Amino acid sequence: MIDAGAAAPISTMARPESPRVPLHDKQSELDHRNLPIDKVGVRSLRFPIQIRDKAHVFQNTVATIGMYVDLPKEFKGTHMSRFIEVLNAHGSVVHVENIPDILKAMQSKLHAQTAHLDMEFPFFLTKKAPVTGQEGVLDYTARFEATACGPDIDFVLTVVVGLTTLCPCSKAISRASAHNQRGYVTVSIRSEEIVWIEDLIALVESCGSSELYSLLKRPDEKAVTERAYDNPVFVEDLVRNVALKLREHPDITWYKVEAENHESIHNHNAYACIEKG
């Protein structure tokens, strides 16, 4: 039993207020090494986003994000938390059209001349098997790389597309069959108008021996195998085929095409690259 005259428990006693001590802003201190930093910020940040696709439907995915600004030579450091504040302030819906707003907010909030935003994420398409028409979901890698330098903004779209390639030399010298492999084409573009991720994927897939699918029944597998046999391509053919189609696109102003075949009968990969200067 507690005596009514006893002192109040410690937890309920009024505590004297401690004087407010200002928190020191270490990042804003002067630096005397006379070296500006080109890019400083946060990277490998995983963040849920929604990507608006060509059908104007929002696709939920997870992006790995990098956010950077330049740092003048007189400042010791940047304020890392402000990058996260900017990202959260713009919500989870990301499209090419709102990336300039994110870059401008980074420039303003971090008092920077230049701002960089990188986003890499899996992009999903539902594909039908070529004969049975059964549907399966296939993933691709897409990447946005955007830079604001003052009022000017540079934007690069990249997609990585897997496909099948069959070796023309192997087909020419073998009595039957030919070796094939899974190849990956990485295409980066700059464009005057929006080029949809889906359209860029379709362009690349039309240039290999055969597309990839997530679901194939036996009739589909037969069709895919025979299609590849009828359309052999070297890695050199692959980059040239893609580059020709990109060159013909009315809105694309710059491109870089890389193809890499994960060889099935060698312990090395075959690689080729074409870049429009």
Q: What is the 3-class SS of 218-243, one letter each residue?
A: HHHHHHHHHHHHHCCCCHHHHHHHHH
CB neighbour list of residue 252: distance below 8 Å, 6 or more residues apart = 189, 190, 191, 195, 246
Most confident stretch, 57-61, 96-100, 245-249 = 245-249
C-alpha separations of 124 from 30, 48, 198, 202, 256 in Å: 47, 15, 9, 13, 23
CA distance 20 to 205: 63
- Closest C-alpha to 123, from 220, 54, 189: 54
Place of tokens 């010298």: 173
- Tell me what pLDDT residue 15 has: 61
Q: What percent of the chain has pLDDT over 90?
A: 66
pLDDT at position 2 over 50: no
| Contact criterion met (CB below 8 Å) for 66 and 83 | no
What domains appear along the chain, each with residue ranges and CATH number? 32-275 (3.10.270.10)
pLDDT tens across 217-250, in order? 999 999 999 999 999 999 999 999 999 999 999 9
- Closest C-alpha to 160, from 121, 103, 127, 190: 121
Residue type for position 127: K
Instruction: Write out the two tokens for 264.
Output: 């099935």
CB neighbour list of residue 156: distance below 8 Å, 6 or more residues apart = 144, 145, 146, 188, 189, 190
First to last CA, the chain: 88
CB neighbour list of residue 220: distance below 8 Å, 6 or more residues apart = 129, 130, 131, 132, 134, 213
pLDDT interval class at 138 (50, 70, 90): very high
| Contact criterion met (CB below 8 Å) for 137 and 146 | no
* Least confident among 43-47, 117-121, 247-251, 273-277: 273-277
pLDDT tens across 191-222, in order? 999 999 999 999 999 999 999 999 999 999 99
Place of tokens 């001349």: 113
Beta bridge partners of 156: 145
- Tell me what pLDDT residue 4 has: 45
* pTM to 2 decimal places: 0.85
